[in-house]
Amino acid sequence: MDTSSTGLRIGIDLGGTKIAGIVFDDADTVVAETRGPAPRDDYRATIAAVVDAIGALETQAGGTGTVGIGMPGSISPVTGRVQNSNSVWLNDKPFAEDVQAALGRPARFSNDANCFALSEATDGAAAGADSVFGVIMGTGCGGGVVVGGRIVEGPNRCGGEWGHTPLPWSTAEEHPGPRCWCGRLGCLETWLSGSGLERDFAQATGRALSGPEIAARAADDPACEAALERHVSRLARALAMITNIIDPAVIVFGGGLSQLPHLYARVPPAMAPYVFADKPKIDIRPPAHGDASGVRGAARLWTGEAPSR
């Protein structure tokens, strides 16, 4: 089925708890949107929910279009099955094959953080930048790299997966770090995600607060301020490592923690001592499209070089 002639581009953002969808027309105008809960621990129900969301969008838009899907994890280039998804019921399943069979036409797939980075690099906070590192800090911690307007996935399709690298320049107290869902110890996801910030605070104080609550109380609560400072230090070291490897022109924060204003003021100077440059240039920006960036980027997977199928 030739869907490219309609000019419609459909994007789906499959998360652990929600499915969002969007449709762009040929003038790059949003003509349809949807959002609903995502099934958990049920692979077949997830396939059905994605296909239903696409159908609802096409009904709203009045036509069919190309389909791009942002997802947790990625499609293995060796097996064609899902790898490295924190929605673990997708792992080792032929998700791309099954979705395309249910749709009856091709679709494109990429990691949700890649889609976020692509959106912000195309018409978002980093529009016009040659190289962009997009960071998602929410329940988990993901990253995506866009160079020259194209996602860099690499031969293993794990480009940008900084959340499953260890915390650099770790202290004795930080080593070896918490156990990650992936089975390793001390992954950045366990430190930098919203849940990581909350875990660290609870471990230090015996109290349970959400990330936004910790930030809101920091001015009057030394324990909250100390938790934020530990998080800033860890985030700065992690981003300095990325800067020393790919040196992105712009870093864009996404996810729930991107709404914390102190990160934009404190992280760049905390990065500077670890960046291998005499006068580090560090440009960190909040997202232009908020939590809509992932779905907008998914719709753009048919623009430029083809990512994973």
In order, the DSSP letters of 15-35 are -SSEEEEEEE-TTS-EEEEEE
Quickly tell me which residue has 């692509």 as its tokens. Answer: 118
Task: Please write the tens of the pLDDT for every residue from 120-146.
Answer: 999 999 999 999 999 999 989 999 999
Residue 309 lies in a domain: no
Eight-class DSSP state of 39: P
Q: Give pLDDT tens digits for 51-72.
A: 999 999 999 999 999 999 999 9
107 and 166 in a single domain? The answer is no
Specify if 157 maps to a domain.
Answer: yes
CATH code (residue 45):
3.30.420.40
pLDDT score of 304 more than 70: no
Q: Answer yes or no: is 119 within a domain.
A: no
Strands 18-24, 30-37: pairing kind: antiparallel
Q: What pLDDT does 1 receive?
A: 57
pLDDT at 139: 86
How confident is the model over 106-115, as a mean pLDDT?
A: 97
Distance CA 81, CA 308 (A): 11
Residue 82 placed within a domain: yes
Q: What is the structure's pLDDT at 3?
A: 60
Pick from 68, 67, 57: nearest CA to 31: 57
Structure tokens at 33: 């949107």
Range of the domain at 188: 126-287
d(CA 115, CA 293): 7
* pLDDT cut 90: percent of the chain above it: 93
Please name which of 230, 221, 158, 219 lies closest in space to residue 192, comparing C-alpha atoms: 230
DSSP state of 179: B
Say whether both 296 and 240 belong to one domain.
Answer: no
Q: How many CA atoms lie within 13 A of 236 on its CB side?
A: 22
The tally of domains found in the chain comes to: 2
Same structural domain, 154 and 216: yes
Residue with the larger pLDDT of the pair 309 and 211 = 211
Q: Are residues 134 and 236 in the same domain?
A: yes
Same domain assignment for residues 45 and 78:
yes
Q: Mark whether 174 and 243 lie in a shared domain.
A: yes
